[in-house]
Amino acid sequence: MGDKSANADAPMFKRLALIGVGLIGSSISHAARRGGLVGEIVGCSSSVETCKRAEELGLATKMYTDPAQAVDDADLVILCTPVGAYAGVAKAIGPHLEQGAIVSDVGSVKAAVIRDIAPHIPHGVHFIAGHPVAGTEQSGPDAGFAELFDGRWCILTPEDGADKDALAKLQTFWKRLGSEVEIMSPEHHDMVLAITSHVPHLIAYNIVNTAAHLERVTDKEVIKFSAGGFRDFTRIAASDPVMWRDVFLNNRDAVLEMLGRFSEDLVTLQRAIRFGDGATLEKMFTDARAVRRGIIQASQDTPQPDFGRRVGSSAKTPSR
């Protein structure tokens, strides 16, 4: 299976339509322009303010508030809104899609996204769902940068019978954006991401709220001594609330399954602490440490100690 475009330097698509130009949509625009992958980029956002800002930043030559107008004449359309908006967007663009076009998305859940988008895709248009496993806790059109996908994984979850050429072309597109590409079923994706991304975010949101509601430790102390570990949870918990609301509403079964397992393991730790079982604690902490080494060996993080950026630094921090 391989992409059939004759010239590796030529644009792969004549017009890319990005529906949503927040962190992920704007990063696709930066990376696609860096690689010369598309002839033109147009975009869509629900608010006039975001449309204006996206044009100022040069993310798109033309922005629309109506997704149906944005997909006109586009041979690649990527949905980059929170997943809760997908069904409405797909319904609006369906009748306006160009024959032969590829429609994809970047949503953090996949089975529910396919359920919401696929019924609106006309015959002759190729829909292949995707998820770049790369991001930061920031959002909006100013948050994007061209390097976001470099060395990160993009998971594609084609349905049975998906067009092979369209799949190969989308794979090549993501590779040229900087990603490694893996193909898996939507259900498997949702299970894997539930434990590697969704439950960690839920834990971060929860622990930050628990600390905020404590009565015997002041807010000032929580902030002052946050470098003890809490600070890293606050970074994850600063992620966009609408995006994460939609993730949990749309990956309910897999998240509940992983939360069940997490709760069982938490009880094991709780019992070990209660009964002074140091061997169990040490064994569980040693096992966890080995996972960190595996992530570094797979080049998904660096071994440098992370004491946080200096206050005032505006460095981008890829996280997931």
The nearer residue to ligand NAP, 42 or 106, going by C-beta atoms, is 106
**Which span sits near ligand NAP by CB under 6 A: 13-21, 55-63, 216-224, 273-281?**
13-21
- Examine residue 107 and tell whether it contacts ligand NAP (CB under 6 A): yes
For tokens 């996972």, name the residue. 291
Verify binding: residue 129, ligand NAP, rule CB under 6 A. Answer: no
Does the protein bind ligand NAP through residue 152 (CB under 6 A)? Answer: no
CB of 281 to ligand NAP, least distance (A): 32
By CB under 6 A, residue 140 contacts ligand NAP: yes
User: Pattern 160-199, binding to ligand NAP, x per CB under 6 A?
Assistant: ----------------------------------------
Say whether residue 24 binds ligand NAP (CB under 6 A). yes
Is 104 a binder of ligand NAP (CB under 6 A)? no
Minimum CB–partner distance for residue 115 and ligand NAP (Å): 15
Distance in Å, CB of 177 to ligand NAP, minimum: 13
Of 139, 171, 179, 251, the one binding ligand NAP (CB under 6 A) is 139
Cα 33 from chain centre: 20
* Interface with ligand NAP in residues 232-271 (CB under 6 A): 240, 243, 247
Gap between the Cα atoms of 280 and 55, Å rounded: 56
Tell which one of 29, 50, 172, 251 touches ligand NAP (CB under 6 A).
50
Is 158 an interacting residue with respect to ligand NAP (CB under 6 A)? no
| Distance in Å, CB of 20 to ligand NAP, minimum | 3
| DSSP result, the chain | -----S-TTS-SEEEEEEE--SHHHHHHHHHHHHTT-EEEEEEE-SSHHHHHHHHHTTS-SEEES-HHHHTTT-SEEEE-S-GGGHHHHHHHHGGGPPTT-EEEE--S--HHHHHHHGGGPPTTSEE-EEEEE---S--SGGG--TTTTTT-EEEEEPPTT--HHHHHHHHHHHHHTT-EEEE--HHHHHHHHIIIIIHHHHHHHHHHHHHHT-SSS-HHHHHHTGGGTHHHHHHHHTS-HHHHHHHHHHSHHHHHHHHHHHHHHHHHHHHHHHTT-HHHHHHHHHHHHHHHHHHHHTTSS-SS----PPTT--------
**Least distance to ligand NAP from the beta carbon of 53, Å?**
8
Binding flag, residue 89, ligand NAP (CB under 6 A):
yes
Among 29, 104, 108, 172, binds ligand NAP (CB under 6 A): 108
* Integer Cα distance of 169 and 122 in angstroms: 19
Find the shortest distance in angstroms from Cβ 35 to ligand NAP.
Answer: 19
State the greatest distance between any 2 C-alpha atoms of the chain, in Å, as a whole number: 67
Least distance to ligand NAP, CB of residue 84, Å: 8
318 contributes a contact to ligand NAP by CB under 6 A: no
Instruction: State in angstroms the smallest separation of the CB of 194 from ligand NAP.
Output: 13
Sheet containing 76-79: order of strands: 62-64, 38-44, 13-19, 76-79, 102-105, 126-127
Q: Tell me the number of residues near ligand NAP by CB under 6 A.
A: 33
Provide CB contacts within 8 A for 184, sequence distance 6+. Answer: 155, 157, 192
CB of 228 to ligand NAP, least distance (A): 25
The residues that touch ligand NAP, with contacts defined as CB under 6 A, are 19-25, 44-47, 50, 67, 80-83, 85, 88-89, 106-108, 131-132, 135, 139-140, 143, 240, 243, 247, 320
